[in-house]
A and B are shown apart, each in its own frame.
Chain A
């Protein structure tokens, strides 16, 4: 807090100037991104600088009033002071966006594209299916499974009626 007040009083570049001049190396150019920045993040509730850096006359007088007893500040003044220091409140910064709609739309689109690719593959890439899938073969396969008594207690053969030679109703 003290540092931010010092910064706003002395000016951004003056601090680095006063440090560098002592060492007689001249003044290094300070890039904007290297200075403390303001950002609204839930995990960093008190950023390094205030949001509003250049205070208007009204805001300056408000800041002077802040130095006194806070009980004299009205609710609007407290909110004005808050808005000087912060851009968005926690409620504002945490509210959801409508991004999920784009996400779902993108998901459906790419699933659809994949479906088209799969259909093309079925037609133009894959060879014929093995003979074990033909109906005749499958009939013989089922008959053999029933003869062997596959899963006779609760599974496959349990559903076959051996007396009447048909599937149980």
Chain B
């Protein structure tokens, strides 16, 4: 009936020493994953889109479709 005396002190310190490095590491991984999985592809997508964007052509398409309130469609 003799059990080892349980740890009476330093419980919070022990928990922090174990969990804080893991928490930091996981947070960094999450941030890196979001940056390289979401934001970088998004920036690239926008750059690629506007490289081939012809403003005048798009404007004329929209005008012909009749979405503008202050620009009449061509041929009126």
Q: B49 to chain A: which residues have CB within 8 Å? A: 152-153
Of A78, A147, A153, A154, the residue contacting B62 (CB under 8 A) is A147
In the bound complex, CA of A152 to CA of B50 (Å): 10
The docked-state distance in angstroms from the alpha carbon of A75 to that of B62 is: 92
Bound-state CA distance A75–B2 (Å) is 11
The interface size bin for chain A is: under 10
In chain A, positions 113-151 with a C-beta closer than 8 Å to chain B are: 144, 147-149
Taking CB atoms and an 8 Å cut-off, the chain B residues in 10-50 that contact chain A are: 42, 45-46, 49
- Chain B residues near A153 (CB-CB < 8 A): 45-46, 49
Select one of B42, B45, B46, B62 contacting A148, CB under 8 A. B62
**A144 surroundings in chain B (CB, below 8 A):** 67
Query: Does residue B7 face the partner (Cβ distance < 8 Å to A)?
Result: no
Provided the pairs A153-B46, A153-B49, A154-B42 are in contact, do residues A147 and B66 lie with their beta carbons within 8 angstroms?
yes
The number of residues on chain B lying at the interface, defined by a beta carbon within 8 Å of a beta carbon of chain A, is 11
Answer whether residue B76 sits at the interface, using C-beta atoms and an 8 A cutoff.
no
Determine how close the nearest CB of chain B comes to the CB of A155; give it in whole angstroms: 11
B62: chain A residues within 8 A (beta carbon): 147-149
Name the distance in Å between B69's Cβ and chain A's nearest Cβ.
Answer: 12
Interface on A for B, CB 8 Å cutoff? 75, 78, 144, 147-149, 152-154
In the complex, 20 of the A-B residue pairs with CB atoms within 8 angstroms, ordered by the A residue number, are A75-B1, A78-B1, A144-B67, A147-B61, A147-B62, A147-B65, A147-B66, A147-B67, A148-B62, A148-B65, A148-B67, A149-B58, A149-B62, A152-B49, A153-B45, A153-B46, A153-B49, A154-B42, A154-B45, A154-B46
Task: List the interface of chain B (C-beta within 8 A of A).
Answer: 1, 42, 45-46, 49, 58, 61-62, 65-67
